[in-house]
Structure 1
Amino acid sequence: MKIKIEICAGSVESVLAAKKGGADRIELCSALGLGGLTPSQSLMEYAINKAGIETFVLIRPRNGDFHYTRAEYEIMKSDIYTARACGAAGIVTGMLNTDGTADTCRMKELIEMARPMKITFHRAFDVCKDPFTALEDIIGLGCERILTSGQAMDALSGSGLLAALVELAGSRIIIMPGSGINASNLRQLHQQTKAMEYHLSASKLKPSRMHFRNNSVSMGLPGEDEYSIRETDPALVAEICRIARSLND
């Protein structure tokens, strides 16, 4: 097995940067500042049909917790149909019950609808009550991988739990660390966890091309700079992929 790098891409420019840098796969989303939300159909179509990189689509109808209403659940099902129709290789999703356990009942229905696409259970895992019980529940659902920081603010801080999950999972499911991963810590994280897939944005702030700027009006969250955009950088992707290749040797 070779180490794979998945890039979380929240814009068309980030998709193109991930491909240019040599990423193995993208998780396509929008609103990265909110933890990622379901992207538009047009962005799905562009990434899958024009960019030509393996694409997993995030299915998350809103920010916040991962217990969804009936209406939100219907939206998720519709978005899965859209992703499959667009030719996505997989989806990234997750649902919890109010007691912090994995919502295996509704997840099972989503997974059946999504096939033959592959399934990543996302970082809802990081706020579940018992990670080891959740691991077995998610394996039972037939998911191919779990994206997790090891229930910590970043993957390096959660490396102890990540290592335990990788060992317990064995060949039954892929444990893919994500959150705070970059070229400076990938080697250490790999040494500590032995994981074979890693998830990161490889992004940096890029200044707006606008010459005229009205700094008295904000369209987003308080304190956000309207005239800088966080996007994946192809050089950062290429660097992390080079390190991953060296770890394969």
Structure 2
Amino acid sequence: MTGLISEICIDSVDGAIAAAEAGADRVELCANLLEGGTTPSLGLLETAIAHTKLPVQVMIRPRGGDFLYSDIEIGIMLRDIAAAKAARAGGVVFGCLTADGRVDAKLSERLIAAARPLSVTFHRAFDAARDPIEALQTLIGLGVDRLLTSGQEPSALEGAPLIRRLIELAAGRLIVMPGGGITARNVARIVHETGASEIHFAALSEAPSGMHHRNPHVFMGGELRPAEYARLVTTKDGIRSVLDAAH
């Protein structure tokens, strides 16, 4: 497993600092991890880049939910890509599908052209595609640098057989990076079973709020919501535990 590259999914500047201290190779910066990640604010992006020397990959996703975007949302994505380039991000991460579940090649081509010369990763929208082999060939044809996937399963461990097949079919034309449910307990098995050269994971632990006064009757979200007085934070020890297990 020598040379295994690690990308850490983060949602804070502290997460970027923790990733660097833990020896990670790259970070993917998002907001709203509870929804699978959306585009971070410009303030968060610029501050994260200022506080780490690691390459920062920026999530370009205007909302949670599906990956079928309107013209207005596409305009937002293009502006966010321009902002990421101006902030000197290392790359962008996006994914878009057609209504019938295929990679939206026309829109992807437009977003890729806007992003260059930055690195381009197609995210786990791939896992919602109707035909993974067709989707892979489309992404290779578009010149995408990297594909993030759980192998169209809830976790990369469950999707390992498909991930291995995708890596074999890609034959170095793009990087297939497992992501989804990777932990210290399963990372070595995932790397072994897939033959992956890069991995993507989050290392989150619950941190209590510093608030002494707490109103238990007021909530900022809907019925399904994270706790108001605790939050998940990326930790150096959490990252190191996965990296140590991988090696």
Query: Which of 208, 233, 236 pairs up with 2:235?
Result: 233
**Aligned residue number for residue 75 of structure 1:** 76
**In structure 1, what is the Cα distance between the partners aligned to 2:134 and 2:9?**
27
Look up the SS of the partner of 2:102 in the other structure.
coil
Q: How many Å separate the matches in 1 of 2:210 and 2:19?
A: 21
2:119 maps to what in 1? Answer: 118
Cα distance in 1, alignment partners of residues 226 and 84 from structure 2: 31
TM superposition shift of 1:215: 1.4
Cα deviation for residue 220 of structure 1 reads 2.1
Distance 2:49 2:244 in 1: 24
Residue in structure 1 matched with residue 220 of structure 2 by the alignment: 219
Aligned pairs, number: 245
Q: Please report the TM-score for the alignment, with normalisation by the length of structure 2.
A: 0.96
Deviation, structure 1 residue 210: 1.2
Matched, 1:98 2:78: no
CA shift, 1:5, in A, is 0.8
Q: How far does the alpha carbon of each residue in 1:183-226 deviate from its partner, in whole angstroms, 9 at most, with x for none?
A: 11011111110011111111111111111111111112435311
In structure 2, what residue type is equivalent to 1:227?
Y
For structure 1, which segment, 130-139 or 44-53, has the greater mean C-alpha deviation from structure 2 after superposition? Answer: 44-53
What's the CA shift for 1:35?
A: 0.6
CA distance in structure 2 between the aligned counterparts of 1:23 and 1:172, rounded to whole angstroms: 24
Judge which range, 10-19 or 121-130, deviates more: 10-19
How far has the Cα of 1:51 moved from its partner?
A: 2.1
Gaps of 5+ in 2: none
Q: Which whole-Å deviations, capped at 9, do the CAs of 1:13-55 have from their partners, x for residues lacking one?
A: 2222212211110000100001100001111111212222210
Partner of 2:59: 58
Superposed, 1:158-237 pairs within 5 Å as 158-222=159-223, 223-237=225-239
For residue 51 of structure 1, give the secondary structure of its aligned residue in structure 2: coil
What TM-score comes out, normalization by structure 1 length? Answer: 0.96
Report deviation, 1:241: 2.2
**Relative to structure 2, which stretch is displaced further, 223-232 or 198-207?**
223-232
Three-state SS of the structure 1 residue aligned to 2:232 is: strand
When the two chains are superposed, the root-mean-square deviation of aligned CA atoms in Å is 1.1
Alignment of 1:22-61 (within 5 A): 22-61=23-62
Q: Hey, what's the Cα distance between the residues in 2 that align with 1:239 and 1:78?
A: 37
Structure 1 unaligned blocks of 5 or more: none
> Does the 8 Å CA contact 2:12/2:48 hold for their aligned counterparts?
no
The offset of 1:238, in angstroms, is 1.5
2: CA distance between counterparts of 1:243 and 1:174?
A: 22
Corresponding letter in the other structure for 2:235? D
Amino acid at match of 1:149: S
Q: What is the distance in 1 between the residues matched to 2:3 and 2:135?
A: 26
Q: Which segment drifts farther, 136-145 or 218-227? A: 218-227
The 2-side partners of 1:160 and 1:63 are apart by 28
- Give the number of the structure with larger relative contact order, counting CA–CA contacts within 8 Å between residues 6 or more apart: 1
**Offset, 1:240:** 1.8
Q: Secondary structure at the match of 2:158?
A: coil
203-212 vs 179-188, which moves further: 203-212
Q: Secondary structure at the match of 2:51?
A: helix
Matched AA of 2:236: P
- Which residue of structure 2 aligns with residue 157 of structure 1? 158
